[in-house]
Structures are given as structure tokens and as C-alpha cells.
Structure 1
């Protein structure tokens, strides 16, 4: 093809048909430019296709993560609500001066329970590494950043406060109050004395306040993640 064009140019020059030569040269330049533009367009299309495939892959992974995240938060909220019921049971038993029974051991353990959220954020971290710009849906991009940065960080702050309180106050004080200390059952060493222990009651009330704030925060994040989950489904169904 190149030899063919070269032959035409040479022929025109030899025949001194300069007007036609210049027209032909301009036409050849235009053809080259058109060829370059077509090649660029094809390259852009191929790149766009790769980005679309990658975006869909990551969005599917994020969708899977949100579903696991929702499940974990619901379990956490359920567990803490059960812990609150145990707190109320113990306070009621103390206030009414009820006699000790073995069944109370479970409530003593549950009343001190907390929770630590561990959602899978691998897909989000991948998205951050690549730059969230490749997610075309602005609403998804905004919600994704919100649930995995501010609200997740706030959840971890509340968990950290509980861990500090548990390590420095709860465990050191409560270890001596029970024959054994675990998450399932805790038998008091002296139930009658425990009923009058104002420090122990204060610890339970402090934990209750922490759990209220924690559940409130989890519910906000749960709503946001559920909303994100629905948006991802809608986006992937299109």
C-alpha cells in the first residue's frame, strides 16, 4: 500500500502535475489523520471495555462485602440487645432482692459482653488503590466512601473505648467477684455481697451507656450499607 502511494506521488512529480500532487498529498495526510483517529478511537473503546469489566468485577465484590457486613452488624445488634436484657435482669434481681439461681450465671456473663465488628473491606481497599474515579455512579462512590471511612472509623473508636475500659476497669475489678470469668457463664463468689456492690453496678451502667451509643452508630451504618447494597444491585442489573 505504501509503495502504491509512493508510485502515484512519483508519477505526478515526473509529469509536473504539481497541483494534483499537492491535492493528493493533502488527501494522503487527511487519510493518515483519519487512520490515526480511528486507531485512537478503537484503543479508547478497548480501554473503556477493560475499565467497564474491572468496575463490574469490583462492584460485585463490594456487593458481596456489603451483604456480609449487613449480616455481621445484625448479629452484633442482636447480641448487644441480648446483653441489655441480661443487664436489666440482674438489676431487677438486685432491686427486688431475689435469691441466687444457677441460671443467673449466663446473665452475669452476657451483661459484660460487647462486640467487635470485622467487615471484609478488601474490595473497598482495591477500589481505593485504583482510585474511586472508575466507579461511574456518583451516589455509589459517595456512599461507599462514607460507610467505609467516617462511620466505620467511628464504630472502631467506640470499640476501642470499650476495650480500654474493659482492660483497665472491668476485668481487674470483676475477676475477683466471680469464681470463673468467661463470655458464657460467670458464677459469683458471693452473691449477697455482689448485690450491694455499687462499683459493680456502676460498671454495668457504664457498659450499658457505651452499648446504647454503639448500637445507635451501628444502626446508622447498617442503614447506609443497606442503601449501598440496593444501589449496587440496581447498578449491576442495568
Structure 2
């Protein structure tokens, strides 16, 4: 009986979504508010679509944790920590609990209790012809005053699940849409010639309250990407201590 209940749950895993009545299909899964000013807070949504002709029955979302993430400065690797550019990165996203459509949802946390992603499920799924929006609250971290960062772009990795399978079936059409990096070397990598899968969130410096130091000239642009180890750890969905996706 317990095994049967678990199977039923895995078959109905789905994000907490606000389902629109429109028929349009978005080219990518992206943030409703992709740009924020440092230190501000907003209710945001991940706007996306299902897997072709199949209904969406789940999603998994991962934010770079900043611990072992890849940091680029003007496209070049940076060997220092994320605190070189952001003063309060971590635990910036909070899933909004909403049972209007689906029953189960939860946040994913790191060993320190910081939210690094979320999932939700336990509902009928999202029809393949409808657009969907995953609602959450997002607080933009503050940019380190002593840094030369004009902006920090954080890449959010997303999986839209349409069938519960193992990773060996990820390449089959209609199973899962992976809006992830294409070059990390994980089973969750997006198959694409370009690394354009994740949803970018750009945090802009408030140049009035937090001007660039005079030594910075034009400043720099920073990017933050998750590590392969984090994606392998945080992308799977666990319910009551058991991994239910991938199988």
C-alpha cells in the first residue's frame, strides 16, 4: 500500500503553478521579473511551458548556492568567494505555499538551512496547451560596496517533468524539459549547442545608494553558475526522505 501511494505521488508531481488561460507557448522557461535592483524584494514567477504535447506533472528548481559555484567576471573565471561581490547571498528565494491547484510543495535547503531551490506536487498536472507560472518571493542580495560589480547575473536551473523516469530516458521526447547548463557534465545537462538553458536573474547595483568606487573605472559584470556537484545533489526531488524523481 505504501509503495502504491508513493507511485501515485510520483505520477502526480507538479509545481505549484498559476495556470493561464492563454494558448501561447514560451520559447524558454524564464523569470517574470528577470532584473532587480540590489536590496529590493518582489513576488516573482517562473514562466514556462510543458513538454511538447505532454502535460507537465512536475518541476524542480535550483539556485546556485554560492559555495562551490563558478564565478565569472567579465567572462573570466574568478577564484575568490561570492562575498567579493554580494554581501548577503543565500536564502534569497522563498516558495509561496498555494493549494489552489496542487497539494504538495517544499523548499530545498543546503546544510546551513539556506533555500537553494524548490519543488511542488500532488495535483492533476498542467495541460500541455497552457502556460504556467511558479510563484515565489525573491529578495535581491546587496552588492558589496567595495567591489567593482555593476551587476551580478545568477543562473537558475529548472526541470519541467512530464513523465517520471530514470535519467536514462531524459533524451526521449516529451519526458522532461531541462532548462539547465549544457556543459556541467551531469545527467541534468541540457542538450544544446549553446549554453542558454537556465533562467537568468540580473541584480543591478544601485548607483545612487551604492556608487562604484572611484578606482573601478567602468566597473565589471559578474555571473554565478552552479557546480556539477550541487546540481547532482539539489536537482532530484525528495519526498518524506525518499527520492521520487528521477527514479
TM-score, structure 1 as length reference: 0.26
Select the structure of larger CA radius of gyration. 1
